[in-house]
Structure 1
């Protein structure tokens, strides 16, 4: 029996050699794309590219480094994302740098690939990608079939973003656990994919204030404002309900977006003042109306008395039920939705004018022991209820990403007479990446009422 042991050892060594040779090639099948998968990807400027690759086998293989050409392509699930969107990236090696160099057939499902996709253009950095432990048997001296790896990244800047194949590693689990890193010889590799990101629409934070709330026909009222587009032409005009009156002037915003105008009010129908950019009113680029009352000074008939009373206009205000929200925990390695409920916000509109209001929110990045979770990972589903008897009816904002650009939580429209009491809230959810470092993460959601 002793004479059989060297033969047994040689067979085991051959098996180890075969497994490491597969890893050295940098091209063992990990997860061949499902039939038709390429047709479901949304791509822009997609192309397969060739690039030189340097692969270093484990020392136990006894094989020198392999320098060859890898052919690969990058695909995405969204070629036209908005800032804050999450894009899924697939890195497919369609032609590995080498084949199986030995006569020994290699078994199925022994390889797990990981790698990087390099970002360029409007956004820098890299995307970590990985594939499942899945491959068909590879015959001796056979050609390695393709394999794919996937990952995600959050778009952080508008513009053209390029994606190029990066370094990858093949981990083999056949008799021994071995790694074979394969690097791009002359980085970066050619661009395989280009996507075009657009800005996330932000909340309108423009606002105006009047120097006085009333005056006689012909009086001038000072109008100031903020958060307009720097150096933009601004129309300042009187309003009666939803219609514009004859009181009008045009000024230019300052270099910081501030507004300063003097409006002469002659029209007795004027009940408010608005300011907007462009040729006509646009709620996304305007502010107001701010309430204004024209005091009728028409002389009284003989032998008559004018009886005056007043309803004092109040303010637009908000209060919130608390200043801390504890979201649910997620598991390391799984990630997913960390969810909770926003503290209720009560809005009281006692101005008694024609102006509606808008309650918007924006959030900072969530910081913790592992760095940060991007603000674009926070989304909400807003809600709003109106107290019975209120002249206005509030509408909840659209469900979606909050992010650093901001989004609307709730609002009421302009009208002939607006006001009331309202309660706004939201279901909030933070999409935590799977392998975010354990620990507590916190971001600040700032609410603005205008």
Structure 2
């Protein structure tokens, strides 16, 4: 083969590669999680092959799709975005086959609506061989963004670039001709409800039937009518009074307590108890001072209140391994947690958990990928009954593992377990990943 022939051969190979990546490449990557409203959209792209290829720019229609792993995130959540080029604008124009694993895509997803900006997405260096004159299959790129504002956020396909490692290291940028491209996906972000900062304090912790207890509080809505009421466990008694919150949200008033079963006092805005707009219950004991009949003796003993505590059957959990390129569920079981509630009184308890991101060799797995399926058992004879939390993601914002409700008398012993499952993305870099799951009992 002469020198001229070799040059022509090299130029032909370079030209074929450049046109291939312009069209999107023969990348075989796993598709992202597609939500119900994710839609394929068509948009014009202008692709510029490397100068060495000697090929003019290519203008054509590309079909793309944007998918997300969560269409209803909260402000502060991290959303995983997958940009898939479903149908490239061109096919391999030559008789020369393109080898496998030479193309690495990167790109941008355009955000609009409540939150604007670009999301950087990348794909693996992974593609099947493309036969001469063959059509290019689709390829996918993934990235993440953090939700900063509540409202509808639109996602549209953006510019992308294909880097090839075949004979030479080359880049072929492709831009959206008339940005932004049509909207392919929309997520609706919600803000966390404002924290309830209402709180009350009692002037005394006990009294005789008919005594008045002074109630002060803060954090209420300015000018709101606030009801002071006695509680017998989870039931409101007939003892009631109303006060008006000051311009600073403070309250001050007296509640006459007649019901001997009263175990606490609450304060709330509105016509009935609402935990979101209320405070308490704060413990209060009615001391029965009924006179002892003649010829009788009053016998008294004391039951000492204990504490609310928990213990764990260990502090390390080994989840099952997954294969690179496949990913999937990495499973395990939470170390059993034992809760002992020996306080007495009307208050129940709640056991919540939150987890950090899983960190590994230069990469991480988002905390939102960890889900649990809680289970809770109550020891026979316990006044309260344990309720398992709902199955679902744990995440960095946390979720409820188990709880018991308020009641006339609460307490007991409980064991709490949970099945754990970490959804590991398919092409997470190999290595060991770890996170810290923190449990809080209150």
TM-score when scaled to structure 2?
0.74
- The match for 2:36 is 42
Instruction: Rate the CA distance shift 1:253–1:72 in 2: closer, same or farther, 3 A.
Output: farther
Query: What are the residue-to-residue correspondences of 1:232-251 with 2, within 5 Å?
Result: 235-249=227-241
- Alignment of 1:16 with 2:13, yes or no, is yes
Spell out, residue by residue over 1:283-314, the C-alpha distance to the aligned partner (whole angstroms, 9 max, x if none): 5665654443222334555x354514244351
Instruction: Rate the CA distance shift 1:365–1:13 in 2: closer, same or farther, 3 A.
Output: closer
Instruction: Rate the CA distance shift 1:24–1:416 in 2: closer, same or farther, 3 A.
Output: closer
Distance in 1, Cα, partners of 2:194 & 2:317? 26
- The match for 1:314 is 305
Q: Secondary structure at the match of 2:374?
A: strand
Superposition deviation, residue 16 in structure 1: 0.8
- The match for 1:425 is 417
- The match for 1:130 is 123
Instruction: Rate the CA distance shift 1:24–1:370 in 2: closer, same or farther, 3 A.
Output: closer
- Alignment of 1:105 with 2:95, yes or no, is yes
Q: Secondary structure at the match of 1:404?
A: coil
Query: What are the residue-to-residue correspondences of 1:69-218 with 2, within 5 Å?
Result: 71-76=62-67, 80-83=71-74, 84=77, 87=80, 89-92=82-85, 94=87, 96=89, 104-107=94-97, 112=103, 114-120=105-111, 121-122=114-115, 126-130=119-123, 133-134=127-128, 137=131, 139=133, 147-151=138-142, 153=144, 156-157=147-148, 158-170=150-162, 176=167, 179-184=170-175, 189-190=180-181, 192-193=183-184, 194-198=186-190, 212-218=204-210
Superposition deviation, residue 224 in structure 1: 7.2
Structure 2: gaps of 5 or more residues = none
Q: Secondary structure at the match of 2:16?
A: helix
Spell out, residue by residue over 1:388-426, the C-alpha distance to the aligned partner (whole angstroms, 9 max, x if none): 221222121112122232211111123332211122233
Distance in 1, Cα, partners of 2:378 & 2:215? 31
CA RMSD of aligned residues (A): 4.7
Query: What are the residue-to-residue correspondences of 1:431-450 with 2, within 5 Å?
Result: 431-433=423-425, 434-435=427-428, 438=431, 441-443=434-436, 445-449=438-442
Distance in 2, Cα, partners of 1:241 & 1:392? 12
Distance in 1, Cα, partners of 2:221 & 2:364? 32
Is residue 73–residue 192 contact of structure 1 (8 Å, CA) maintained in 2?
A: no
- Alignment of 1:359 with 2:359, yes or no, is no
Structure 1: gaps of 5 or more residues = none
- Residue 53 (structure 1) aligned to one of 35, 43, 46: 46
TM-score when scaled to structure 1?
0.73
Distance in 2, Cα, partners of 1:254 & 1:343? 49
Is residue 290–residue 353 contact of structure 1 (8 Å, CA) maintained in 2?
A: no
Superposition deviation, residue 9 in structure 1: 3.5
- The match for 1:346 is 338
Instruction: Rate the CA distance shift 1:304–1:286 in 2: closer, same or farther, 3 A.
Output: farther
Distance in 2, Cα, partners of 1:137 & 1:252? 80
Q: Secondary structure at the match of 2:13?
A: helix
Q: Secondary structure at the match of 1:19?
A: helix
Spell out, residue by residue over 1:245-265, the C-alpha distance to the aligned partner (whole angstroms, 9 max, x if none): 122345688999998875432
Distance in 1, Cα, partners of 2:250 & 2:196? 14
Spell out, residue by residue over 1:373-398, the C-alpha distance to the aligned partner (whole angstroms, 9 max, x if none): 44323322222222222122212111
Instruction: Rate the CA distance shift 1:22–1:429 in 2: closer, same or farther, 3 A.
Output: same
- The match for 2:401 is 409
Instruction: Rate the CA distance shift 1:77–1:156 in 2: closer, same or farther, 3 A.
Output: closer
Is residue 361–residue 429 contact of structure 2 (8 Å, CA) maintained in 1?
A: no
Superposition deviation, residue 136 in structure 1: 6.4
Single out whichever of 412-421 and 247-256 deviates more from structure 2: 247-256
- Residue 270 (structure 1) aligned to one of 262, 270, 274: 262
Is residue 81–residue 155 contact of structure 1 (8 Å, CA) maintained in 2?
A: no
Superposition deviation, residue 239 in structure 1: 1.9
Instruction: Rate the CA distance shift 1:278–1:88 in 2: closer, same or farther, 3 A.
Output: farther
Instruction: Rate the CA distance shift 1:242–1:445 in 2: closer, same or farther, 3 A.
Output: closer
